[in-house]
Structure 1
Amino acid sequence: MANIPTPAQLAYFAAHPHDNLVPDIIACCSVCGIAAVVFILLRLWARHLIHGRVVVNMSDWLLIIAFIFFAVFDICFALTTKYGSGRHIIYITDARMLQILNIVDENTYCYAMAFIKLSILKVYGDIFPSKKFHYCLWAMAIFMGAWAITFSASAIFQCTPIEYNWDLTIPGGFCINYGANVMAAGILNIFTDLIILVMPIPLVLKLHTSTQKKLQIIFAFALGSSACIISFIRLGYGSKVGSTADGSWDNIPAGLASVAELMIGILAASIPTYRPIYRRFMNGSAMAQTQAGYNSDRQNYGNDSSMNKSTLRRVQIFSQHDNEPREKGEGIHIAHQVEMSVYDSKEEDWDKKRRRQSDEERLT
């Protein structure tokens, strides 16, 4: 619950009627909301590229639930501008509706953040089969659930009775130090980000793959905790929550940081799933180059009759799921997109290479 403004503060508010953060709120909510929708759609498209149809697994469902909570948070935060949010406290038009929307925002933020991290943990569980590691994942998942329930409940019951949030005339009403509650939630949120970041590193280091590939995998997992950067920024702004006498103005930066934090969290949880999209665009360029090289080899072969046919090792591969028109002529036509790797049977370590590639494919 905010403090009561002093006469000097009231005079300052009255002297600055044009101070307005409403455009900032609307712009942030609009951009982040649209971006989050795009991130989810790209994730589903990546699933379609893999399976030929949209196959949604548990990690996808968890992130979709997180997106629903984020959407409610985003919309309600934008709606607060209708009742005075983004302006000084003396310009609030409906304190009751403003506080109700703020409580909804505080709750949906907690659950959106929790489900984003649960989605990342599920991805870890799908990749690494270690039973001990799965115990750690379950422990972290339970902790995130407890974190969300605890701090969402404290947001609802920060004042007793709840109506005391917007009606200070109620006899016997009181509020907890909600600013300390926000700081505790923010610190634990950052702590869980760091734990999730380091959890898979020991298992990645044991993979039968190159050091460069291991570093790439660790970097991909680190993206899942990249929202931690925004969490630090939000924590700085959160120090004012609950202690300011001008909450409708001073709390806005923390709200904007929260919107950006959740949006980046959705992106970070989705980036590792975008590999099929990246491969689609990269393979499109590679196929054009391969076609040019193939035609060049055929021309050279026609000019040099002594060239052995076995030296021609390029093939054309077309996928049934590609929307590009198929060209008639020479080439291999298959129903699904595949990768072909050729190993020289004379190499002693060819089996190690095969196992290394298998480990890398498991991570993709």
Structure 2
Amino acid sequence: MSDNAFALLMYPSGDEKARQNVAVGAVVTMTLLGMACVALRIHTRARIVRNMGNEDWTIIAAAILTVAFATQLLVAVKVFKMGYSGMSLSMEQAVASSKLGLSIIVVYKSTVTLIKASILMIYLRLSVTKTFEWLCKGSIYLLFTYQAIVIIIVPLECIPLRKMWDLSSHVPGHCIDTATFYYITSAFHILMDVWILLLPYKLIFSIPRPTREKFAVYAVFGLGAFSTLCSVIRFHFLVVALNSKDPYYDSLGVNVWSAVEVNVGIICASMPTLRPLLSRAQRVRTRHALKVTEQSEGSFTPWSSRRGGLLQAKEMFITLGTITAGTFKGSRNSVRDEEQWRDEKPPPVPPKDGREPRLSYPDVAHRKF
């Protein structure tokens, strides 16, 4: 019996093609959603708030890699038949799929690292204590150190590298335990997701806001928890693929969930920046908070730095709360927030003497004596 006939017996007719179609739909849909959020974020930061930060440039780099990642997956599915049984692939397709798989791994890991770094850079704008600032910077350094290690190890999984796709086992050399390596790297990202969710806990709950907005904040952070859940589901499919007798067939699930995880992460990282699209008062608050933060970074005084961080934290808290609660420009809460913003402005400078200021024409003509 031929390999193709045996593959047909293992998998129902049309099953492989149907799985491929679902995978393509999921990858394309999630990528479009992620890119839409990035586009709105860049429009908000560059055109409305007029203050692009390091976190915005980082998410742009992540978005570019996300598009590259989606393109790689589509090529793997459509050209190299990822998701089909290995017994139905030609030798050339199997080798090309293995080579492309290395590139997919590096791009995926780099994208996830950049998304997490972008979120941590947002946290850095909110830092009101040295401890919180050190924790954020330390987490960023840890992420990029990890990423450098991954980029170095992936091409060295086998020495020589061609042994990785040597299906005939004729190439001499040795390989590391790739399953353990990928388990460790995936578990690292899951732990970093949990750490990033917990890191701003004390800061967020130290800002007094209405109860409804606090519940809205929980909902937004719940979206971040969904990103962590995607990582856990991906880890499950990774275990399935690494222990599969037909990895070409079972690799489809882990790659689809990789695309879902990446784009959900981008959406989570972009949500807190979109509020100024909906509210003029929020635009003013955001610009003022960013201005104070920039001034405090140049002055190096503890109080000014703390004030800038607190303003940024309050701005972010209002953003998370009102965007989820459905507050739009012109609503009661928007009016209330603008009134609060006016109350926070410093009072006008009084005249130098106690005399009544002189009125100029035409105001003096209408003065009642």
TM over 0.5: yes
> Structure 1 or 2: larger helix share?
2
Structure 2: distance between partners of 1:26 and 1:225? 25
CA contact 2:158–2:174 (8 Å) conserved in 1:
yes
Counterpart of 2:188, as a letter, is: L
Give the drift of 1:159: 2.2
Give the drift of 1:216: 4.2
- The aligned residue for residue 182 of structure 2 is 182
> Where do 5+ consecutive residues of structure 2 fail to align?
281-325, 346-369
- The aligned residue for residue 60 of structure 1 is 56
- The aligned residue for residue 316 of structure 2 is none
- The aligned residue for residue 21 of structure 2 is 23
Give the drift of 1:32: 1.6
- The aligned residue for residue 200 of structure 2 is 200
Give the drift of 1:262: 0.2
Match of 2:7 among 13, 18, 22: 13
- The aligned residue for residue 258 of structure 1 is 258
Give the drift of 1:125: 0.6
- Taking the TM superposition and a 5 Å limit, the aligned residue runs for 1:24-63 are 24-48=22-46, 50-51=48-49, 55-63=51-59
Counterpart of 1:70, as a letter, is: T
- The aligned residue for residue 312 of structure 2 is none
Give the drift of 1:208: 4.4
Structure 2: distance between partners of 1:8 and 1:124? 58
- The aligned residue for residue 323 of structure 1 is none
Counterpart of 2:85, as a letter, is: H
CA contact 1:201–1:218 (8 Å) conserved in 2:
no
TM-score, normalization by structure 1: 0.71
Counterpart of 1:183, as a letter, is: Y
Structure 2 residue matching 1:251: 3-state secondary structure: helix
- The aligned residue for residue 127 of structure 1 is 126
- The aligned residue for residue 69 of structure 1 is 65
- The aligned residue for residue 83 of structure 1 is 80
- The aligned residue for residue 110 of structure 2 is 111
Give the drift of 1:38: 0.6
% identical aligned pairs: 21
Matched, 1:92 2:89: yes
Counterpart of 1:87, as a letter, is: Y
Structure 2 residue matching 1:132: 3-state secondary structure: helix
- The aligned residue for residue 136 of structure 1 is 135
Counterpart of 2:27, as a letter, is: C
Matched, 1:156 2:150: no
**Per-residue CA distance 1:212-234 (angstroms, 9 max, x = gap):** 54554455455445310101111
CA contact 2:82–2:251 (8 Å) conserved in 1:
no
**Per-residue CA distance 1:150-184 (angstroms, 9 max, x = gap):** 33433322222111122233332333222222221
Give the drift of 1:48: 4.8
Give the drift of 1:247: 1.3
Give the drift of 1:282: 5.0
Larger mean Cα displacement after TM superposition, 165-174 or 84-93: 165-174
Matched, 1:243 2:243: yes
Counterpart of 1:198, as a letter, is: L
Structure 1: distance between partners of 2:218 and 2:151? 32
Matched, 1:102 2:101: yes
Superposition CA RMSD, Å: 3.0
Larger mean Cα displacement after TM superposition, 114-123 or 34-43: 34-43
Matched, 1:146 2:145: yes
CA contact 2:158–2:176 (8 Å) conserved in 1:
yes
TM-score, normalization by structure 2: 0.70
